[in-house]
Structures are given as C-alpha cells and as structure tokens.
Amino acid sequence: MRHKLMALSLMVVLAGCAGTDEVSTRLPPGFLTNAQEIIAATDWSDPEVVTLTIRDHAYSPAEITFHRDRATRLVVVNASDSDHAIESEQFFPDIAVERIFGSDQTVRAPWIKKLVVPAGQTKELWFVPARFGAYPFQCSLPGHASLGERGLIDVVR
Ligand SMILES: [Cu+2]
C-alpha cells in the first residue's frame, strides 16, 4: 500500500506543470555583462537554424553544435504530450539572447535561465553564443534528467 502511494505521488510530480521561462532584463550575477551590445551589433537577417526535438524523455540530437559569435535560431520542438524544459547552469550565462519566440508571444530579454516548452508546442531561442565550450544541459522537470533527458552543447569556431 505504501509503495502504491509513493508511486502515485511520483507520477503527480512527473506530470506536474513545468512553470514558465525564466528570463531577465536585469543582469543576473555571472551572466554576460555586454549581452545587449552583442545583440545590437549582430545581423539577425540570416541566423543559423538548429532544430532540437524532445520526445520520450530525450533530446534529439543529444549533442548540438553552435558557432561562437554567430546569430543562432534554436528551434525546440516538443513532440511529446508532456511539458519539458532546457536548463544549463554553464551555457545560459555565456549567451546573449535576442528573443524567445513561442506560439502565443515573443519575449525580449537579454538573459535566460530556463526555457520551458509546453506539451506539443515549439519555441525558438534567438541568441549569440559568446564563449567557446562544451556545455551540459538537461530538463529541469523532476526526474526527467535521470530518465535520459540530457545533452551536450558544443560552441566552436
Ligand atoms: Cu523533460
């Protein structure tokens, strides 16, 4: 009986709401201080498009490559019936965000801590990677990362 209850409460947590994007128009400590200058100096007419699909608690591809100082349009497709997110303690502080484009709204803020993609929806993150590195990222919903929802971002020349 006790095990059944625990399993039930875990399911409730797994199905729980992912919350919303965490963006900031004020500089979070440790993030790029010149994000606004980078955004203003970047040509947004032809960004590099990278598509990331979320399905069965996995990112596809699990390893993605971006190019430093290049305008980038990351299209995140949630092809599942539950909410998912992207979090990276190392990557997000090193990018300058031009916009977050969702089905119902466009958010403009230079800094982001978490991107949430509701079930069946698509979101775009327009940004410039400003530093080289190999950055781990994962879903922030409880239990998802341990189910395999994690990946690696390479920022190269
Ligand atoms: Cu997830």
Q: Which of 83, 107, 94 is nearest to 136 (CA)?
A: 94
Q: Which of 15, 54, 50 is nearest to 151 (CA)?
A: 54
Enter the tokens of residue 6.
Answer: 């625990």
CB neighbours of residue 17 within 10 Å: 9
Q: Candidates 3.40.50.300, 2.60.40.420, 3.90.1720.10, 3.30.1490.390; correct CATH number of 2-156?
A: 2.60.40.420
Q: How far is the CA of 142 from the centre of ligand 1 (A)?
A: 8
In terms of pTM, does the model score above 0.75?
A: yes
Q: Which of 62, 26, 35 is nearest to 135 (CA)?
A: 62
Q: How far is the CA of 43 from the centre of ligand 1 (A)?
A: 32
Tell me which of 3-7, 51-55, 94-98, 142-146 is least confident.
3-7
pLDDT at 132 over 80: yes
Q: Which of 32, 64, 58 is nearest to 149 (CA)?
A: 58
Q: If you average pLDDT over residues 75-99, what whole number do you get?
A: 97
* CA 47 to each of CA 2, 8, 57: distance values in angstroms, whole numbers, following the listed order: 53, 45, 28
Q: How far is the CA of 13 from the centre of ligand 1 (A)?
A: 12
CA separation for the pair 89, 35 (Å, rounded): 17
